[in-house]
Structure 1
Amino acid sequence: MHISSLSIRNFRNFYNSKFIFKKGINTIIGENGSGKTNLFFALRVLIDDKLPRYIRFYESDFNRSLGKWAGHWMILAVTFEELDASEEAQVLAVQSSGDMEGNKNTGSYSVYFRPKYQFRKELYDYSQTAGKTVEGLQLYLDKLTVDDYETSYLCRGTGDFSDDEIYKKYVGDFEAVKFPNPDNKEELIFGTFLPREISVHNEVSCTFIKALRDVESDLRSYSTNPLINLLRGKEKTVEISKQTDIIKSIDKLNDQISSLKEVKEVKDGIDKSIKEAVGTTYGPNIDVKSELPNDMEKLLQSLKLWVGDPDEEGYMGKIWELSLGGANMIYLSLKLLEYEKIRTDRIANFLLIEEPEAHIHTHIQKTLFDNVQTNKTQVIISTHSTHISSVSRISSVNILSRGKKQTLVYQPANNLDDEYITRAERYLDAIRSNLLFAKGVVLVEGDAEQILIPQMFKKVFGISLDEIGVSLVNIGSTGFKNVARLFHNDRIKKNCAILTDLDASIVDLPANENEDSTYQKHCRASQVSGAERKEKLDKFCKNNDFLNPFYSDYTFEVDFLMNGNSHEFVESLDEIFKQQAAIDSSKKKLQDKSVSVAGVEVLRLADKKGKGWLALVVADNLVYNTYIPDYILRAVAFASAHLNNATKAKTAKYRLRKIGRSKFDEYFETAKKTSFKGKDDQEVIDEYVASFPNDQFTKFLWYL
């Protein structure tokens, strides 16, 4: 049995969220504050016997996007798949309308935090009155407190309360003032109470390992040490003759220890002290004896785990000598082994691990979660580690993204064919998987773009792409489609811009292609390929609001140069040439206004040293008024739709300072007269746009 989905309604970060899980290892990816801990708490309320049987919820537990929470329900609902035939598992099996047998392989379990019956009845009665109004409804809701709520645990329900229509029908439509009659049990939707003798918390095993958990104390404890559980019962398989020999040896050893002269001296001293204090009439007789356990079960339970560093061969020490990371790694391994080998009496095993990267080294993260095999245990890991996410199957990944007063949940593999899932998983290494964490994504196809675009954005606008939550990812030769298809209304609902080249010829081409020179043939072929690429990419992105392609006319280097950025290349020439004559010749060509001269020269430089190397050199010579090509500006703006006013205002102030220090800037005089002192963020933005209508940042704001 494993969890296939978790639905959360109106609980903390989650207004209306549904998680999809697979057998084996599942990964929850999310930025700080996106609700990973709250997700685990919701799961634990349903399956972890370490929490109180009936959780008390508070006003603050309702999702803030509700505004007024009174009358709304908090609903946590989990769906199980592959139920076995045991009675404990089958009590969870859902029942379908018209089918008393129901689905024996699928089960459900839900927690409802809802107003008590009498208040639900009042809401229903009011909704049946002719003169009902939203204002009149509010009078009933204003009376409600959390003390008027009850917590109900039900199983076998089929209602998906992440569906707004289901929620309105069976909980209530607050805008239309429509509420259901609580006398209608609707057991097919809500479920039924569990039999008294069965508790889900007692029938499944659940271990929650929080990010900063002290696993050393767990490994010392009799009740939580997985090593003891692994050893439990093993005494029954030890041969009787061996048990007898061991017990005789223990008894002999106890006698030897007890009869030591040093032990007897301590015993006599204690006995004498007591007798002198209270007398021989009331003083107890004292002895000191060795009590090494001579019971096989207790002997095995006394075994301790000793560990050694792989770089310090021959030395073994106690578990507490390890770092927290080492202890966590051992604890995780023992717990998985325990669940896989020992816990046969439970109908399911669940291991919830919060941010293992808090203590586990990056290489171990990848190895541990890439190699671990689970047959009887479902593992759910929360992380913001790209190393763990890079080895996670995207079919078992849920992505959390912070929205306005709520967390949004995405499944990147939803409605994707297995072939495309496999391609994407092969591509998402630890570097590229950061796109799963971003608020917006820009895909590029070369090293030069990967190096220069983030640097020019930082230099021109005073903020980094990382700061605004935009990941720029170099696709290389993989092809945009393998990754871009993750961004879709069915999957990751975040903007993804695609940057590529049209590769238009930088030299004039004869009307008759048979008259092409070798260089012209090359240019013509690139131009044809660029046009075909645009046609295919436009078709691929059509009707997808989360994808948008942006094209350079020529190539990145040529377009960057021809947008008035010859200074950046000219300043880099002394890194490329040693002779002054070569520098002067190249400088003249780079400053030429014709693309057939300047474009040819910049591509020659790129071929001479490599595009990546040239980009690194040029990056050192970027300035605040380096001109970002329009197609790049539009692409980054598309990926930055989430940008807030605080960031915009910060950039406006940065630009104002830079312009005000440059006498040669066309806006120098305007900048000296402009002040943002005492203005709020929106006022700063408005004044900047009005004062600098042709500035790059003003254009960027318009594109947003």
Structure 2
Amino acid sequence: MHISKFIIRNFRNFESADFNFKEGVNTIIGENGSGKTNFFYALRLMLDDTLPRYMGFGERDFNRNLGNWQGHWIILTTHFSELDLSEESQALSIHACGQLDTEEEKPKGSYILCFRPKSHIRQELYEYSQKEDKDKSGLENILSQINITDYETVYLCRGYLNFSKDDIYKSYVGDFENIIFPNPNEQQKQKYGDYLPREINLYNEISCTFIKALRDVASDLRSYSNNPLVRLLKDKGKSIEIETQNDLVDSINELNSSIASLNEVIDIQKGIDDSLKQAVGTTYAPNIEIRAELPNKMDKLFQSLRLWVGDSDDEDRGKISELSLGGANLIFLSLKLLEYEKIKTDKVANVLLIEEPEAHIHTHIQKTLFDNLHQHNTQIFVSTHSTQISSVSKISSVNILSREDKKSVVFNPSYDLDDNEIVRIERYLDAVRSDLLFAKGVLLVEGDAEQILIPVIFKRVFGLSLDEIGVSLINIGSTGFKNIARIFHQDRVNRRCSIITDFDESFISLPINKDDDNPEQKKARNSQKSGVERKDNLDIFCEKNMCIKPFFAKNTFEVDMLLESNAYEFKNIVHEVYKTKSKIKESKSNLDSEDVEVSGREVLKLATTKKKGWFALLVAEEVNVNTGVPDYILSAIAWSSPHINSASKVKAVRYRLENVHFTAELLEEDIELIKIHSSFNSIESDEDLLIKFRDCFQEDPLTKLLNHYDS
């Protein structure tokens, strides 16, 4: 039995969320504030016996997007798959309601927590919704009278309604907009759920342990209730032979007697006795004796055992409190895994929740640890914002959390993908490329040159980094974009992904008859043909996917960069490619040529001679605030970052104003720059600043970028 789905409705930053899980290890990844901790807390409310069973919710536990929380419900639903034949499992089984899924060898079940208005409130809402003269003001009058004390917490089972769906929520909870509320006495229990039988206590049958990120391991290992070492030893204590136990007890009793009979101990005992009698007299003075109380019972003996540890390169051993935080966390996690494997296999299900294991654990250990977390009969949930852990996560076992419009949304990156597609994605993701799972927008590029130069250009031209606006740039390493781009889809990871590639239109003249091509022309013609085919294939691939869009350089990246009046940047690194003065002079002259056949040939020759990646590194050093940016790159960045806020745009405007020497050609009118700058300084509104900049500098790269956000 394992958790296959977890649904949250109206709880904290989750307005409506569907999590899908597999057996074994599941990963919940997401940025800070995306809801990872709230997800764990919601799951613990249902399964963790360290939290109160009928824990009350407060007003702030309702999702803020509701506006008015009064009348709404918080609903947490846990779905289980592959239930066994135990009484506890069958109490959850949806099949008991006649909903047998013939495709499943083992039944499914559900366990539901509802925080809802009490029955008299629900009845009042229903009765008002039946009135012909009902209106919004009347409904608001009823809702305004509801207090948090008018709510109840109930646990249900066997329900199969998905309350994350708005139509289901409105049908069974209420349509507040249209003032339609169901009759609480006529709801179909088979769909809604039954009360969990009183004799069934899931807390006793499902073992749930939460390992928080910044835990005090030393304190936990001193605790009897939280100490996995004690539990492991106690379990082993049952197998110690009685004769051996008796020998140990006799030895300890003898040791206790020896300690108590020491002259030093007897002297202290006599001194205390004399002092008491002098203070209160012999009539009222209690009799005292000092005894050694080393535990002489096996369970108490095991509690006295402590781990002594040392770092991997140190033979010395000390208390666990002396170990590094990372080492201590590794030890505790290992003990918990061993405890589940050795002791808790009699439970219906074992659930281990691990919050951000990267908090104190080294990068390489993160990957190794996560890769080896699979344990028999234990389902593990790991939350992380570590690219190391996400890189070794199975895409089919990943749920991505993201902040969107003041709420958290859940993406399932493997939804509706076949096994081969999933395998290709998992092979591709490594610690560098897996950051695309965390991004708000993605740029996929096909080569090292784009990977190196585009982030540098964006930073130096606009004063912003791609990371700052939540965009990840990923080098695919070829033109095989489809394998990775398919992750981005309205039903999977609902984030925009721009594919940046070359159209490879030939910039050299080609004969009408291809048979007349020389080797250079033949190569250019073949590239052009491939470019057309690439564009056609990508256009078809992206046609029905609202999350993917291709952007093409007219020629190639290097040539299109040069044609944006960037000869200066390329000329400055010619001496790194050629050593003779004549070659350097000739190359610079070619780069300055207005004939693209000349300049285009030269820039590609430089890139090929130096190798494109190294060439891009050299060019990156020369990129500056005046570097031109090809329009297809501006368009791709803007399309991938519709979420960019006004503050970032204003920051870019002020950066340009402070760093660019604007010429009259860039201005709408030929007026003095001093007047331009002084006029900008007097603007207080961000919106007015953006409008003023775009009006004055219509040909500036930033204006072109901002225009793309409007298109």
Same fold (TM > 0.5): yes
Q: How does 1:112-131 map to 2 (within 5 A)?
A: 112-131=114-133
Equivalent pair of 2:345/2:377 in contact (CA under 8 Å): no
Deviation at 1:181, TM superposition (A): 0.4
Pairing 1:703–2:708 present: yes
Matched position secondary structure for 1:105 = coil
Q: Which amino acid aligns with 1:657?
A: E
**In the alignment, which residue of structure 2 is the partner of 1:461?**
462
Equivalent pair of 1:233/1:297 in contact (CA under 8 Å): no
Deviation at 1:284, TM superposition (A): 3.5
Q: 1:677 to 1:36 in 2, by over 3 A?
A: farther
Pairing 1:223–2:225 present: yes
Q: Which amino acid aligns with 1:689?
A: R
Aligned equivalents of 2:173, 2:254: Cα separation in 1: 72
Q: 1:148 to 1:308 in 2, by over 3 A?
A: same
- Normalising by structure 2, we get a TM-score of 0.95
Q: Which amino acid aligns with 1:117?
A: S
Unaligned runs of 5+ in 2: none
Describe the superposition over 1:216-244 as per-residue Cα deviations: whole angstroms up to 9, x where unpaired. Answer: 21111111100111111322322344334
Q: Tell me the matched-pair count.
A: 702
Matched position secondary structure for 1:674 = helix
Q: 1:68 to 1:243 in 2, by over 3 A?
A: closer
Q: Which amino acid aligns with 1:66?
A: L
Equivalent pair of 1:676/1:684 in contact (CA under 8 Å): no
2:189 pairs, out of 187, 200, 217, with 187
Q: Which amino acid aligns with 2:654?
A: K
The farther-off stretch of 434-443 and 352-361 is 352-361
Matched position secondary structure for 2:344 = coil
Describe the superposition over 1:293-346 as per-residue Cα deviations: whole angstroms up to 9, x where unpaired. Answer: 33333323322112121111x211111111221111111111111112101342
Deviation at 1:96, TM superposition (A): 6.6
Deviation at 1:402, TM superposition (A): 0.7
Q: Which amino acid aligns with 1:606?
A: A
1:107 pairs, out of 106, 109, 120, with 109
Identity %: 57
The farther-off stretch of 138-147 and 576-585 is 576-585
**In the alignment, which residue of structure 2 is the partner of 1:657?**
658
**In the alignment, which residue of structure 1 is the partner of 2:379?**
378
Aligned equivalents of 2:216, 2:13: Cα separation in 1: 27
Aligned equivalents of 2:30, 2:93: Cα separation in 1: 32
Aligned equivalents of 1:5, 1:245: Cα separation in 2: 52
Q: Which amino acid aligns with 1:464?
A: S
Aligned equivalents of 1:488, 1:657: Cα separation in 2: 40
Matched position secondary structure for 2:430 = coil
Describe the superposition over 1:171-206 as per-residue Cα deviations: whole angstroms up to 9, x where unpaired. Answer: 111122111001114211221112222222332111
**In the alignment, which residue of structure 2 is the partner of 1:390?**
391
Aligned equivalents of 2:479, 2:629: Cα separation in 1: 26
**In the alignment, which residue of structure 2 is the partner of 1:488?**
489
Deviation at 1:469, TM superposition (A): 0.1
Matched position secondary structure for 1:114 = strand
Aligned equivalents of 1:486, 1:454: Cα separation in 2: 23
Deviation at 1:602, TM superposition (A): 1.1
Aligned equivalents of 2:587, 2:31: Cα separation in 1: 47
Pairing 1:44–2:44 present: yes
Q: Which amino acid aligns with 1:229?
A: R
Matched position secondary structure for 2:195 = coil
Equivalent pair of 1:562/1:593 in contact (CA under 8 Å): no
**In the alignment, which residue of structure 1 is the partner of 2:140?**
138
Deviation at 1:106, TM superposition (A): 1.2
Equivalent pair of 1:95/1:188 in contact (CA under 8 Å): no
**In the alignment, which residue of structure 1 is the partner of 2:419?**
418
The farther-off stretch of 513-522 and 536-545 is 513-522
**In the alignment, which residue of structure 1 is the partner of 2:697?**
692
Aligned equivalents of 1:337, 1:409: Cα separation in 2: 32
Matched position secondary structure for 1:548 = strand
Deviation at 1:676, TM superposition (A): 4.8
**In the alignment, which residue of structure 1 is the partner of 2:293?**
291
**In the alignment, which residue of structure 1 is the partner of 2:326?**
325
Aligned equivalents of 1:142, 1:251: Cα separation in 2: 70
Matched position secondary structure for 1:213 = coil
Describe the superposition over 1:388-444 as per-residue Cα deviations: whole angstroms up to 9, x where unpaired. Answer: 111111111111111112111100001111111111111111110111110000000
Q: 1:101 to 1:34 in 2, by over 3 A?
A: closer
Aligned equivalents of 2:59, 2:242: Cα separation in 1: 61
Equivalent pair of 2:683/2:689 in contact (CA under 8 Å): no
**In the alignment, which residue of structure 1 is the partner of 2:638?**
637
Deviation at 1:57, TM superposition (A): 1.4
Equivalent pair of 1:63/1:405 in contact (CA under 8 Å): no
Q: 1:244 to 1:112 in 2, by over 3 A?
A: closer
Q: 1:106 to 1:70 in 2, by over 3 A?
A: same
Aligned equivalents of 2:682, 2:450: Cα separation in 1: 37
Unaligned runs of 5+ in 1: none
Q: 1:353 to 1:577 in 2, by over 3 A?
A: same
Q: Which amino acid aligns with 1:685?
A: L
Q: 1:162 to 1:217 in 2, by over 3 A?
A: same
**In the alignment, which residue of structure 1 is the partner of 2:22?**
22
Aligned equivalents of 2:672, 2:440: Cα separation in 1: 37
Pairing 1:334–2:335 present: yes
Aligned equivalents of 1:353, 1:590: Cα separation in 2: 57
1:160 pairs, out of 162, 173, 183, with 162
Deviation at 1:663, TM superposition (A): 5.1
Describe the superposition over 1:54-75 as per-residue Cα deviations: whole angstroms up to 9, x where unpaired. Answer: 1221222211111222221111
Aligned equivalents of 2:691, 2:32: Cα separation in 1: 31
Q: How does 1:553-592 map to 2 (within 5 A)?
A: 553-592=554-593
Deviation at 1:12, TM superposition (A): 1.1
Matched position secondary structure for 1:616 = helix
Q: Which amino acid aligns with 1:155?
A: C
Matched position secondary structure for 1:699 = helix
Deviation at 1:82, TM superposition (A): 1.7
Q: 1:279 to 1:86 in 2, by over 3 A?
A: same
**In the alignment, which residue of structure 2 is the partner of 1:73?**
73
Aligned equivalents of 1:480, 1:625: Cα separation in 2: 31
Q: 1:266 to 1:577 in 2, by over 3 A?
A: farther
The farther-off stretch of 522-531 and 49-58 is 522-531
Matched position secondary structure for 1:284 = coil
Describe the superposition over 1:442-463 as per-residue Cα deviations: whole angstroms up to 9, x where unpaired. Answer: 0001111011000101111111
Aligned equivalents of 1:521, 1:514: Cα separation in 2: 9
- Normalising by structure 1, we get a TM-score of 0.96
Matched position secondary structure for 1:675 = helix
Q: Which amino acid aligns with 2:330?
A: M
**In the alignment, which residue of structure 2 is the partner of 1:83?**
83
Q: 1:12 to 1:297 in 2, by over 3 A?
A: closer
**In the alignment, which residue of structure 1 is the partner of 2:199?**
197
Aligned equivalents of 1:555, 1:108: Cα separation in 2: 56
Describe the superposition over 1:118-159 as per-residue Cα deviations: whole angstroms up to 9, x where unpaired. Answer: 111111111111122223322222222222222211111111
Q: Which amino acid aligns with 1:75?
A: I
Aligned equivalents of 2:99, 2:621: Cα separation in 1: 71
Q: How does 1:165-314 map to 2 (within 5 A)?
A: 165-312=167-314, 314=315
Aligned equivalents of 1:424, 1:677: Cα separation in 2: 52
Matched position secondary structure for 2:483 = helix
Equivalent pair of 1:506/1:554 in contact (CA under 8 Å): yes
Q: 1:362 to 1:71 in 2, by over 3 A?
A: same
Matched position secondary structure for 1:498 = strand
Equivalent pair of 1:79/1:107 in contact (CA under 8 Å): yes
Describe the superposition over 1:498-537 as per-residue Cα deviations: whole angstroms up to 9, x where unpaired. Answer: 0111222332222233332222222222222222222211
Aligned equivalents of 1:117, 1:323: Cα separation in 2: 54
Deviation at 1:578, TM superposition (A): 3.5
